[in-house]
Amino acid sequence: MIPIENFLLLSALLFAIGFYGVLARRSAILILMSVELMLAAVTINFIAFAAYLDPEAFTGLIFALFVIAIAAAEVGLALGIVLRVFRERRSSMVDEASSLKW
Amino acid sequence: MQQRTALPPQFDRPIMLGGALVGAVATPLLVVLVALRVVGQISSPEVVFWLAFAVILAGALGTVLLSNVVHAALSLIFTLLGIAAIYLLLGQEFLALAQVLVYGGGVTILIVFGLMLTNAAEDPVVSDGAQKPFAFGVGILLALVFTVAFLGERWPAVGPAVISGAEFGERLFGDYTLAVLTVGVLLDIALSGALLIARPDAPEESAE
């Protein structure tokens, strides 16, 4: 039997790595990939808590499935936006698309 | 005898370096895990867990540290498939399969396509921002805070409940029907919106 602490440790480290990626990267697609890492870390937490602490209630598992589905939608939409920005500006770096920054 | 095509010489150094690095890290890990298993310190699921742990964190570090975007995307695949193994260890077979299908298949292909349709094809190497040291500090701090918070708590010593795909489906479509339909509509709207945003403006522009 694996103690739940192992999964929580994994999710904590994965979330921190993803957070570092979001802060440090310049390419929009790399930031998106780091966001995926953070979402995956949160999903591990949801499922670990649901499976260990309250398997009858099911809420964590359903929520994990929705996180997976909505992350897929988010990737599709974000890549559409990145393609659009790239076509307008010939660059997918977030610090070069700064027209909203006054 | 069939003559094999040699790899382009620019692949020599990364392949040798990466292989040596993976071997240098993976071999001691395997030896330690197998030794602990033989001695009886850890159970077989724990051996699998620590292997998946290493694959996930190595893939995640590759995703955020490699400067070549295509290498970073390939490294992300290892992380996402390792997470499917973690779901299996947690007893969730349906979610593990959904993870392999949605992430290992769909999301990865979408990301690689996105890379290829932007400037990754000509110039795959990107530099990180100047805020990198700050980001590093925040990442370390976050890891410390979460680790201390999670491991400082006393958790009940129970095992994970195994939930079969049939049971999952019954609960999902029985108790959460409205939520499933809402997510379906959301996916539809999001992907239609993505199509609308990404397509070229006027037909005469794209025709020429």
Whether residue B120 is found in the same domain as residue B173: no
Q: The complex's ipTM? A: 0.89
pLDDT of residue B121: 67
Q: Among A10, A52, A76, whose Cβ lies nearest the Cβ of B86?
A: A10
Partner A contacted by B34 (CB < 8 A) = no
Whether residue B86 is found in the same domain as residue B41: yes
In a domain, A51, yes or no: yes
pLDDT of residue B79: 93
For the segment B53-74, what is each residue's pLDDT rounded down to a tens digit?
999 999 999 999 888 888 889 8
Q: By three-state DSSP, how is residue B37 classified?
A: helix
Partner B contacted by A57 (CB < 8 A) = no
Average pLDDT over residues A91-96: 80
Looking at the complex, report in whole angstroms how far the Cα of residue B208 sits from the nearest Cα belonging to chain A: 16
pLDDT of residue B148: 92
- What would you measure as the largest C-alpha separation in chain A, in angstroms? 55
Six token digits for residue B127? 């530099």
Burial class (CB in 10 A: 0-12, 13-18, 19+), B174: exposed
CB within 8 Å: B49 and A80 = no
Collect all residues with Cβ–Cβ distance below 8 Å to A77 and sequence separation of at least 6.
Answer: B190, B191, B193, B194, B197
Domain assignment of residue A43, given as a range: 4-90
Q: Report which of residues B52 and B157 the model is more confident about.
A: B52
In a domain, A97, yes or no: no
Domain assignment of residue B97, given as a range: 20-127
In a domain, B89, yes or no: yes
In a domain, B75, yes or no: yes
pLDDT of residue B5: 63
Average pLDDT over residues A2-19: 91
Looking at the complex, report in whole angstroms how far the Cα of residue B143 sits from the nearest Cα belonging to chain A: 5
In a domain, B192, yes or no: yes
Looking at the complex, report in whole angstroms how far the Cα of residue A99 sits from the nearest Cα belonging to chain B: 18
In a domain, A95, yes or no: no
Number of domains forming the structure of chain A: 1
Whether residue B30 is found in the same domain as residue B79: yes
For the segment B82-110, what is each residue's pLDDT rounded down to a tens digit?
999 999 998 888 889 989 998 888 889 98
Global pTM reads: 0.86
Q: Among A10, A14, A73, whose Cβ lies nearest the Cβ of B186?
A: A73
pLDDT of residue A19: 94
Partner B contacted by A101 (CB < 8 A) = no
